[in-house]
Amino acid sequence: MAIINLNILKPISVCTFKNELPTMAFSLGANTTSLAVNAVQNSMIATKPCNQTVIRRSGNYRPPKWEFDYIQSLNSEYTGGRSIERASELKMQVKMMLDESKEPLDQLELIDDLQRLGISYHFQDEIKQILTIINKKYSENHEPEIKDLYATALEFRLLRQHGFNVSQGEN
């Protein structure tokens, strides 16, 4: 049986520490005497510095091939003219959906869906216009409409997210 020297079990120099137990004094009251107690807490003080550095293995990682020039050289079938036309058609359909929905709850749900999909930046002007109208109705109408908790929470959250000042409680 062959013995392999892996240098794994080499002893590492150890720093020596000196134990010190601090003494704490505290008073038990106005008429009683002070009592000194050895604390349960241990503190360690290094008496000799550790000079040995730990040598670690290299990961031998290859450099990434996803450099900027490589990514720019990739071709996609969705960067062509037909895809751009289709995207603009879909944007127009969504703008029409925002304009056609008359119920505030439907508008708020559509705005929430657009935000969750991450495409609300395409419709910032329309969203701001809808939320301004809803906020104006909210601030002018001091008698609250009969709404469920979901509609109220959605309205509150979206108005607050877009920078409108909406009170937390009733006026």
DSSP-assigned letter for residue 118: T
Interacting residues of 49 by C-beta distance below 8 A, sequence separation 6+: 15
Mean pLDDT to the nearest integer, 144-153: 81
**pLDDT tens-digit readout, 95-146:** 999 999 888 899 999 999 999 999 999 999 999 999 999 888 877 775 566 6
Pairwise CA distance, residues 117 & 115, whole Å: 5
pLDDT, residue 127, reads 95
**pLDDT tens-digit readout, 28-51:** 555 555 455 555 556 667 677 777
Pairwise CA distance, residues 71 & 141, whole Å: 54
pLDDT, residue 54, reads 80
Q: Taking Cα atoms as reference points, which of 105, 106, 110 lies closest to residue 149? A: 105
pTM above 0.85, yes or no: no
**Where do we find the tokens 């990434």?**
64
Q: State which fold the 82-161 domain adopts.
A: Glycosyltransferase (1.50.10)
**pLDDT tens-digit readout, 50-95:** 777 888 877 787 877 788 888 888 888 877 788 899 999 999 999 9
pLDDT at 17 over 60: no
Domain residue limits, the chain: 82-161
